[in-house]
């Protein structure tokens, strides 16, 4: 139940004075120690000393290390999944998938590291140039500071840790305070591996004080953060001259054209709206439906939503568990009430019991309502009746965010327009805008800077060094 600190390869067993309680049962499921800004400085200094060993290590050694950790994850899927469910209330079915994805992400990072390379170029292309052997290569950035959220407490850690180590960096991790033990279990696999490179990875806990210390220090050359846009802005102000990769919020939207299979679209949209209780930056929040099929689609979406089981996250048949904390549940409830006061209608749900906010479908909404213009991060989706794709496009792009959007359509011209005109980092066709595997993952506008995904994270965690040989 205890989650300890790792100062490099040294596990530090302090009194675990902080507690994490299950959002479902309210029972204490994890204990972890208090950390300070001084602890952040200590971890960074250790990482700084370890970066030479990482930079000079062979890729073969790092591959063995990562492969060994992937095997450990594979062998402990059930334990890891249960910790995720205990700490953040994610249903056990999806916790198992997350644990499996963790091992997959490690292996994909290995492949990306093997393929990562430089490029030669012609230095005599200009009349003033000189013939030479000219190329660039990618080299480790140095020290990476990673800060991760609660909603995917294992996979979002490994999306930073595995590429950072594969690229030859040392790293300091600060996970979400809601999920300390899953971070501890994963980092312990790294530290305990016989292939571990000494002091290459550190784990500390803490709040904004610790995060600020990591960000403001001159030691890390890359800050990799996943979380809210508000915190991302503070990081940008405090980071100074270093690389910053920010995966921030979103309010994902889709357009339903009149030509599509409405049953299929409704089933997918129900899952995309309420998966993980809406606690995902690509959770489907806005659905724009062509007027000719609006009524039919609305009824189908309600029907599909009624099929989703809400309850005990330990039950394999449960689709949706509780929200992470009381503050989040109250905010969801208040935003729905505020929207209703402004003229919105509740088509389904809208009720709260403790930390459970039941799947909610809204209509008659406007762009000024919080449930439309902000990131809800709760199981709330809104339906808009539109006369054309052009009308939907204008409203979809009228957002401060731009992470992922999607379109359900059989008309290739509409699909092409969506690809060209959606103002976002990713477009999905004939499915929900909730897709993240190998592709570059990241958004535009207030949704962040930089890209994740193993190959693209490796690029974020390396520098280009130009070489000219005469």
Q: Is residue 307 part of a domain?
A: yes
Q: Is residue 347 part of a domain?
A: yes
Helix (H/G/I), strand (E/B), else coil: 53: helix
What confidence tier does 437 reach under pLDDT thresholds 50, 70, 90? confident
Q: Is residue 442 part of a domain?
A: no
Residue 366 has pLDDT above 80, yes or no: yes
Q: Is residue 134 part of a domain?
A: yes
What confidence tier does 438 reach under pLDDT thresholds 50, 70, 90? confident
pLDDT reported for residue 458 = 98
CA atoms in the 13 A half-sphere facing the CB of 133: 3
181 and 206 both lie in a single domain: yes
Mean pLDDT (the chain) is 98
Residue 146 has pLDDT above 80, yes or no: yes
Could you give the dihedral angle defined by the CA atoms of residues 445, 376, 146 and 452, in that order, rounded to the nearest 10 degrees?
A: -50
User: CA separation (Å) from 274 to 56, 136, 323?
Assistant: 46, 46, 11
The closest of 308, 284, 303 to 384, measured between CA atoms, is 284
* Average pLDDT over every residue of 211-223: 99
pLDDT reported for residue 42 = 99
Angle, nearest 10°, between helix axes 180-192 and 77-88? 150
What confidence tier does 68 reach under pLDDT thresholds 50, 70, 90? very high
* Average pLDDT over every residue of 397-403: 98
**What own/partner pairs with CB < 8 Å and gap ≥ 24 does 423-432 have?**
423/397, 425/451, 428/404, 430/260, 430/406, 431/268, 431/406, 432/252, 432/254, 432/268, 432/269, 432/271, 432/272, 432/284, 432/406
131 and 193 both lie in a single domain: yes
185 and 57 both lie in a single domain: yes
371, 340 Cβ separation under 8 angstroms:
no
Tokens encoding 427:
């477009």
Q: Is 178 tagged catalytic?
A: no
Can you count the helices (H) and strands (E) in the chain?
15, 24
Range of the domain at 11: 5-248+447-469
Residue 404's CATH number: 3.40.309.10
pLDDT reported for residue 462 = 99
Percentage of the residues of the chain whose pLDDT score is greater than 70: 100
242 and 260 both lie in a single domain: no
180 and 221 both lie in a single domain: yes
Q: Is residue 362 part of a domain?
A: yes
Domains held by the chain: number? 2
Residue 222 has pLDDT above 90, yes or no: yes
370 and 453 both lie in a single domain: no
Residue 213's CATH number: 3.40.605.10
CA atoms in the 13 A half-sphere facing the CB of 447: 26
263 and 232 both lie in a single domain: no
pLDDT reported for residue 436 = 80
Residue 282 has pLDDT above 90, yes or no: yes
Q: Is residue 257 part of a domain?
A: yes
197 and 259 both lie in a single domain: no
400 and 308 both lie in a single domain: yes
34, 40 Cβ separation under 8 angstroms:
no
291 and 359 both lie in a single domain: yes
pLDDT reported for residue 156 = 98
Q: Is residue 416 part of a domain?
A: yes
314 and 170 both lie in a single domain: no
Q: In sequence order, which residues have a C-beta less than 8 Å from that of residue 397 and are 6 or more positions away?
A: 421, 422, 423
313 and 341 both lie in a single domain: yes
What confidence tier does 435 reach under pLDDT thresholds 50, 70, 90? confident
What confidence tier does 137 reach under pLDDT thresholds 50, 70, 90? very high
- From 98, 178, 247, 304, active-site residue: 247
pLDDT reported for residue 129 = 87
Q: Which residues pair with 253 in a beta bridge?
A: 286, 405
State the Cα–Cα distance between residues 273 and 440, nearest whole angstrom: 22
Q: Is residue 92 part of a domain?
A: yes
């Amino acid at each position: 139940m205890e989650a300890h600190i790792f100062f490099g390869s040294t596990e530090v067993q302090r009194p675990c004075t902080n507690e994490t309680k299950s959002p479902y049962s309210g029972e204490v499921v994890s204990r972890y120690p208090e950390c300070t800004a001084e602890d952040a400085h200590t971890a960074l200094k250790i990482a700084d000393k370890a970066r030479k060993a990482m930079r000079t290590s062979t890729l073969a050694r790092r591959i063995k290390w990562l492969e060994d950790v992937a095997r450990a994850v594979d062998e402990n899927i059930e334990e890891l999944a249960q910790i995720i469910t205990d700490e953040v209330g994610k249903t056990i079915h999806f916790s198992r998938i997350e644990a499996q994805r963790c091992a997959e992400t490690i292996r994909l990072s290995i492949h990306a590291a093997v393929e990562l390379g430089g490029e030669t170029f012609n230095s005599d292309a200009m009349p003033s140039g000189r013939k030479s052997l000219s190329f660039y290569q990618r080299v480790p950035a140095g020290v990476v500071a990673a800060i991760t959220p609660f909603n995917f407490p294992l996979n979002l850690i490994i999306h930073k840790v595995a590429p950072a180590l594969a690229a030859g960096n040392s790293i300091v991790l600060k996970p979400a305070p809601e999920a300390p033990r899953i971070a501890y279990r994963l980092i312990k696999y790294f530290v305990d591996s016989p292939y571990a490179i000494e002091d290459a990875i550190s784990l500390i806990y803490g709040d904004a004080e610790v995060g600020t210390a990591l960000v403001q220090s001159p030691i890390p050359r890359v800050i990799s953060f996943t979380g809210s846009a508000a915190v991302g802005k503070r990081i940008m102000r405090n980071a100074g001259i270093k690389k910053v990769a920010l995966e921030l919020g979103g309010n994902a939207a889709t357009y339903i054209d009149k030509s599509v299979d409405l049953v299929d679209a409704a089933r997918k949209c129900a899952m995309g709206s309420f998966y993980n209780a809406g606690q995902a930056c690509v959770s489907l929040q806005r659905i724009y439906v062509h007027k000719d099929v609006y009524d039919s689609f609305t009824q189908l979406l309600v029907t599909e939503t009624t099929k989703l089981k809400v309850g005990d996250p330990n039950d394999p048949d449960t689709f949706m568990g509780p929200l992470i904390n009381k503050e989040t549940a109250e905010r969801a409830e208040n935003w729905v009430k505020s929207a209703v006061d402004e003229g919105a209608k509740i088509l389904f749900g809208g009720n709260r019991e403790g930390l459970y906010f039941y799947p909610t479908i809204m209509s008659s909404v406007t762009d000024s309502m919080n449930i439309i213009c902000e990131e809800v991060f709760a199981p709330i989706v809104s339906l808009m009746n539109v006369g054309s794709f052009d009308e939907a496009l204008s409203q979809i792009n009228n957002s401060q965010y731009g992470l992922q959007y999607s379109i359900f359509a059989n008309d290739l011209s509409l699909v092409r327009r969506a690809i060209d005109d959606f103002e976002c980092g990713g477009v999905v066709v004939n499915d929900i805008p909730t897709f993240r595997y190998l592709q570059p993952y990241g958004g535009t506008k207030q949704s962040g800077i930089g890209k994740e995904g193993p190959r693209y994270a490796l690029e974020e965690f390396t520098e280009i060094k130009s070489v000219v040989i005469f």
